[in-house]
Amino acid sequence: MGYRVVVVGATGNVGREMLNILAERQFPADEVAVLASRKSLGTEVTFGETTLKTQDLDTFDFAGWDMALFAIGSDATKKYAPKAAAAGCVVIDNSSLYRYDPEVPLIVPEVNPQAVHRYSKKNIIANPNCSTAQMVVALKPLHDRAKIKRVVVSTYQSVSGSGKDAIDELWDQTKAVYNPTSDVPPKVYTKQIAFNVIPHIDVFLDDGSTKEEWKMVAETKKIVDPSIKVTATCVRVPVFVGHSESINIETEDFLDEDEARDILREAPGIMVIDKREDGGYVTPIECVGDFATFISRIRQDSTIENGLNMWCVSDNLRKGAALNAVQIAELLGREVLKKG
């Protein structure tokens, strides 16, 4: 017997990607239901070779369904996730709503799979922020070897992290640059994103950081180790898909760059592409559609006693969202539900 799976928000970028990945990874689903808001009711989406019609999230009965992958905003999740959980359906939530709830596990399966056993307090599991997910996959194996004290990370985040309207805004503004009669003022972003970079993701906090930066700090502590100090600068760049990160790591014990490279090569979910030559690294355009988190430019930081630098790239719609959610579903099935 396989699982009865619900994808909530199936018409959005992440929801569609969840369906693609469930099919690609041959998730043992006997039945898949796709839900959307009433305005998208009846919209057709694909699941492998099958075409599914969206059902109304407002009236759907979650009783008898094993798990629901939520890819809707926090406001809607707040209304519908408790209903699904109360009906006995385990919620795997991609929004930020439950990430910092101490009774809800926040999981990256390559990093803290043991946390899945704590799901039953609320019947909800949280998926981390896209920028955090790829970073902690790289941090965890190095932390196990040399204990990370401090991380300084600068992100280069693609517009797909802001949804379809942001993708359209970048596309339309790019075309407008070459057409002097066109003018596409920013709507999704505070400034023009085409041919520009914006050091501002999410709202500003009192200390001058943004909420996206705060998320990376809080989530790394919850997923990997609360003792790790993290400082982040998160930047939106004119790339359609794929987040990049420049990561500086300070460890308690000395870790040679060659050993770090070997550790990362053996770590789950990571692909090391690190040749010190032209093109011997991965860029975001090359990671699109891939499951892996790519690590390049591994080198010693000579300005501190125990320091490393690296470059980290991943498809944010996959590892940063849909893939991680499906991996949580696989973990939940394998370790707890044991039906498939």
Measured in degrees and rounded to the nearest 5, phi and psi for residue 148 equal: -80, 130
Exposed, middle or buried by CB within 10 Å (0-12, 13-18, 19+), for 306?
middle
Whether 130 is a known active-site residue: answer: yes
- Cα dihedral value 238, 239, 243, 245, nearest 10: -50
Residue 98 has which token pair? 């439950």
Interatomic CA distance for residues 301 and 310, integer angstroms: 10
Q: How far is CA 9 from CA 55, 111, 270, in A?
A: 10, 27, 28
Torsion sign across C-alpha atoms 172, 175, 180, 181 = negative
Interatomic CA distance for residues 234 and 161, integer angstroms: 12
The one catalytic residue among 130, 234, 287, 312? 130
132 with 107: CB under 8 angstroms? no
The one catalytic residue among 143, 234, 243, 287? 243
Q: DSSP letters of 29-50? A: EEEEEEEE-GGGTT-EEEETTE
146 with 223: CB under 8 angstroms? no
Residue 244 has which token pair? 């990049």
Element (H, E) at 177: helix 164-177
The closest of 11, 104, 22, 9 to 340, measured between CA atoms, is 22
3-state helix, strand, coil in the chain (%, to 5): 35, 25, 40
Cα 198 to the center of its chain, rounded Å: 20
Catalytic amino acids? Answer: 130, 243
